[in-house]
Structure 1
Amino acid sequence: MSTFPTPDDFRTVLSIDPLLDFWREKVAPKCPHMAEMFRVFEEKIQKTPDLKGDIDSPEVAARYTDILSPLMSVAFPSSTWDTEISAAFTPFQHQAIYGTPAYHRLLFDPSGKIAGHLKGQHHTLDFQRVVRAYALILKRLYGIDQGIHSPLIRIVTDPTTGLERHFQITPDFQFVQVGTVGKPPVLNDRERERVIEHIANPDVLTTLLPPGNFIFRGFAVMRAVDVTESEITSALERDLIDQESIFSADGFKRLQSRLRTLFGQPELKASLAALQGDKVLILNDGHTSEANCLFTNSSHIPLTDLKHSVWLQSVEHADILRIPDLSKEPNLCPAEQEAVDHGVRAMLIAPLSFGGEAIGTFWVKSNRANGLGAVDIEKMRHLAPLFSMALKRGLDDMNNEIQAVIKEKCTAVHPSVEWRFRSAAVEHMERLRQGKPSEMEPIVFKSVIPLFGQSDIRGSSEARVHAIQSDLTEQLSLAGNIMRRAGEIKSWPLIDEFSFRIDQRIARIKSGLSTEEESGVASFLQQDVEPSFSELRGIGPSVSHAIDRYAEAVDPVTGVVYRKRKAFEESVSRLNERMSGYLDQQQAEAQQIFPHYFEKHQTDGIDYVIYLGASMHPTGVHSVFSLNNLALWQFKVACGMAWHTRQIQPALKVPLDTCHLILVNHAPLSIRFRYDEKRFDVDGAYDVRHEIIKSRLDKAMVKGGRERLTQPGRIAIVYAHPKEGRDMRRHIDYLQNRGYLLDDMEPIDLEDLPGVRGLKALRVGVNLEAAAAVQGDREMVG
């Protein structure tokens, strides 16, 4: 059975004796004037029996404020009297004996007790008082101080606005004396250990230290600080973790209630909208709804209907927009006029963005002109990132649910980061096991260095077009030969028309080739020309022989002439396989330098990206040496790619060559695993610049001419900062000395690329004849 005590189980005595002792020992000796004042008031107290020793009740003390107020000035300074929220209480009791005006205005209950209720406490205020009473006993009498000093948060209703206000309550026991009734209980070592172990458990403490054995004499001071803004902001952060808070009516109603408290406006309303292509999705407009479904609570507005509106102005300027009075704005669009008709006047609109891209708007509105001011802008500025993250996360989840894409969070994961995914997966599974809602946590690696390299097959697009032209021309010519043979025997008009259409197609192919033309030729031959062969074969042996030649030339699988294209694709495939196999071999050994993320892409050539950094390693360790070693490894790999190209060229049916490029960017960036795309991507608007440069480098031109940066048999090194250039020159000097590179390095200025300026480059030839280019693969990793 519980032995849980209450504050009334302790003996508590209201007294100003500790205050008088403080004056006598701390104040009077330091100042003659204060000493004289104390002497006067001490004489008054001697003549006032009600204030001597134990005071019967708070009501008795309240009758002598003329005496108490000057004495209380050491606890309640006159400099803060009008602003400080504080009061004096009988130790561990509810009723105040003395308080500042702010206390009486904000925290004074009509019953004389402290107003409101404790925030989120599992226990009552009496429980908290008992815990603190025991903490004071243990500290003063037993020398046990376990730091039970955490402040309490009390929530009260503002008498003016009717909104919640949050106050941090801190008790001050400076003027409380702790005594005992009789001899204090003695604690042996085992009992002291038990007390420390159960320091916040009154049920245990009361068996060792019965509350009736102790007496508190004096008064406690309670000081309160308004923490409404920080408490509400923290509550909003917690609420916004749950996507239902912005997508459901009940959730958004709770958010709106908190926002009213934060802005101090009972009638304030909030709204949230998402940009979805050419439409705006209004997720919540601040009005009450009984529904709890996104599709019920939302509506779409065409973006064109909001052109030049206050919402899009905020998005365009990427800043919070304050509207003092919407009704006074010129040229209101229908949505703005509708808001005015609903009584909206003052507005604050915050653009929401993610990764540098606008994703929506969040706004609050008041029915009073100028009801939202400059101070409110700063509150809005702090809220915008919270709503941005919530909206982004919510939209991602919503789209995944709509498309039913997420059955599995990720596909194959690179071994270097598998540890991170395993950790996230374990946490996710644990939450599900506990019956809690869960999503895989974001996988983000911060401050990683990207290393990008590319070995591109030069002129592959032109070679592919030429191969297609050759195959189509050959097939059309074979079909034309059939028609000519048939026309020599029969003067059928359709044969002549087919000949005309075939010649017309050949002429168009020679002048240029489009995707439509390629598919059009195949359709023309298979649907129009070839069905006539059965009829034409009976005209004569020459026609039949021409048809046989046509059939022999057509590939049985594709149904078209495919010789040149097949030769080209086989050549590209063989060259890619050679380079890819070599890169995989080198990459496996490079992992020994320092574990890093590696991603390879293969089209007409090979490109790869490496990410390395402390955050990608379980131990959080990374060194500059590892970065420099891998940068040099990139050079050697590029040399090896060029050499393997030279070695395989004689075996290719179509002559191909490769150009090699290295992008140097040692500025750290962050990467995030995109669960929807099953891949890593850079995280943040600034870091996206690296991706933009990568995507446009293959079009880079030497400044002042028409020469492409990348050239067969040469390595182009692109960089932005002088130090990066100096580092690369050092590597080049070393590799020239070792015979990997030719002594023909050239510094190059590049033409500006769309959105990218100021890039520099170095270009140097690979020594394709030297054995050094392929000396032991182990040397490749240093």
Structure 2
Amino acid sequence: MDYHLFKESPFKTLISFHKLIEALEKIATTNVDYRSNYAKALLKEIEHFPEFRTGIEDLNLILKNETLIQHLLADLFPTALTQNEIKAATIPFQNFTFNYSERFKKILQNAGRTFDMTIRDFDQNQFYIMNCILILNTLYDQHFDFNRPLFYDIPDANGIMKHYRILYNADFMEIIPTDKAIKLSPEDIDLLMDNYDNIDLWKEKFPSESWILKGFGIVSLFDATIESAVSNLKSNLLKSKTEQTESDSNFETIFRSIFKISDLKVGFIIYNEEEEKFVKPPYEDKKIDSFILHDMQEVDCKNALFGCSLENILEQNKPFVISNVEKFAKTEGNEKMGEHFLKLNIKSCILAPVIKNDKLLGIIELVSGKPRELNSINANNLNLILPYVVDTLERYKNDMRYQVEAIIQREYTAIHPSVYWKFRREALKYFQTNNPNKDYIFKEIVFKEVYPLYGQIDIKGSSNHRNETVKEDLKNQLESLIQIFENQNSNTNLVLLEQRKFELQSFYNQLEFPLKADTEQQIQLYIEKEIHPILRNTKTNEIGETLEHNYFESLDEKTGMFYHSRKKFDNAMSIINKKLASILDKKQVEAQNIFPHYYERFKTDGVEHNLYIGASITPNKDFDSMYLHNLRLWQLQTLCEMELEHHQLKSTLPYELDVTSLILVFSSAISIRFRMDEKRFDVDGTYNARYEVVKKRIDKANIKGTKDRITEKEKITIVYSHNNEETEYLNYIKFLQFKKVLEPTIEQFEVEELQGVSGLRAIRVKVINDIKEQTPKNFSYQDLLDELN
């Protein structure tokens, strides 16, 4: 055993019993005969060892005189308590102890000859600084609180690590300065107070062996195994995977200390509430596994292998304890689970649910190769552990969810809830691979045999409106600049002013014609480079200064141009899009109750939406065409409501804009594939591309044989190909006409041929918009059938 574990110290240590000897000398002079005689006899025995008083530097002297020292310390180490107290004489913070109590001796004997007793997580610097603090508190009347608990970790005869809290008694010690000791000022002490981690500073103020530590200490230990193990567990669980090191105690060591079972093993399974499955935790380092699942990755909660056992955990939320697996396996209904555990040499086990807010997060598995080691009595020790496991597992599940979502975001895109399950499955496969850090080829996500629904509500003539507002802003800005130049001071360069006025007027005249693609950019660049420098660097009269001030106040901060008309237009567009999109999103929540389906919405010059419905998107529900009809009726009603909302909103807009509405009917089932490169869904296959072609071009199409667009303000246009689609939508329209949602007049016409697409027809009908602040009621497909019948 290395007695001098730390080679450097502010102390030169002398083990001495001088204070104890002085106490014995006082007792020897008392009138109590038996006490006086005892002290005199003991003093006579130690006369031959003056080092006991002056100080022992050769530690072998202590080892050679163990019995004498035991007699000398008898008052401090009562024989009656030696089997109970864990106690010894020592030099504080060092690896030298002697005069052990019998219980302490037995603990060290069980630990084995090779065991070296050292303080846990205690290094050279901490040792040095703690000795310095001892000097400050003792001789400088400081009160530095350094109550960090110190522990010895000592294994028992079965190899179970026990944890003992260390307490020191320094009543028999004396601190004496040497010639090398430095006298500290209050400023020195303040400096040390603020620099705990600066070991060089401490060594500067307390040079090595500049003080004498004379005497001995008494170390007392108490068994804090459970408290310490729980604390270690808490610390380890709070650490992220990246923070954990090889020195961290593993779970099994901690659990063995708590349960006092040398062969205890710990497993874990996660409960997937969405799919009602138990899943292995996909830890990359495989430090923790599952004995229930063993070589399976996941299992259904009601798997026949486990009979009703796991169901009982789910229903009762109580630990499932098997104290004798061999006996358990002979009971009818438990054979499979019993045999499964016996194959893994599990003879007793505890399966405990981990619950947070009445929700099952997972199951912790404790197993032993010995029967009766784990039972319903020591299962209560889980109450000390589970609160930390619960928080950790909840954090782990949240972290895993965030990581899965991050993968989805990175490899796919923001995913609609209806199809999220398929992306999640693929992301989990990534984590369940042996080494997820290696390149993993993500599979494309495809949904086959789905029915598309497309609709839009578009701002009529938005491009023309935008161009007109651009021209209006440019005209106003040019007019303001021309006016400024006309009021410039006569002292300025008249030729230059006339030239710039002419150029500004030329740009103004260009705006009388249709706006070209680069006109706005040309004017903006000209004003920034040629006009603004002149205005900032020339003097003018009072009227000119006012005009310039008003001009610069009117410039937009971002563009440096007039932005009044465009701002009104943009604000109107934003208000319309935001309001109509909010209606669509709100109605979508109701539509998902019809049948879960994929939904995506886009804001352009208006609001577009795509819906896809089919069995492949929601495989856990039976799909029927009735759901498709219900969704089509919902779509038509939603567009009616959006049209009505716009009509009521139009008078309050900063810029008046009209809208047109369109529905594209496509009755053939198609496949959609998630495009990995574009991070979005698209139709899959050549035949299905026809649908995309029509969808992209239909809103700009004309009525066949005319120059009139198929869409018209305040009306909904329904484009279709087949007679059965016409019949279906005419039924919807007639029903909504009866319910006073649509006007009586129905227009029907053919659509001009699009590139590669012909034979399209359309129905157009106007929404009744004189309903005062009345929201149309939603009618279901069943309401329509009831009405027809």
What's the TM-score once normalised by structure 2's chain length?
Answer: 0.47
Name the larger-Rg structure.
2
Bigger proportion of residues as helix: 1
TM-score, scaled to structure 1: 0.47
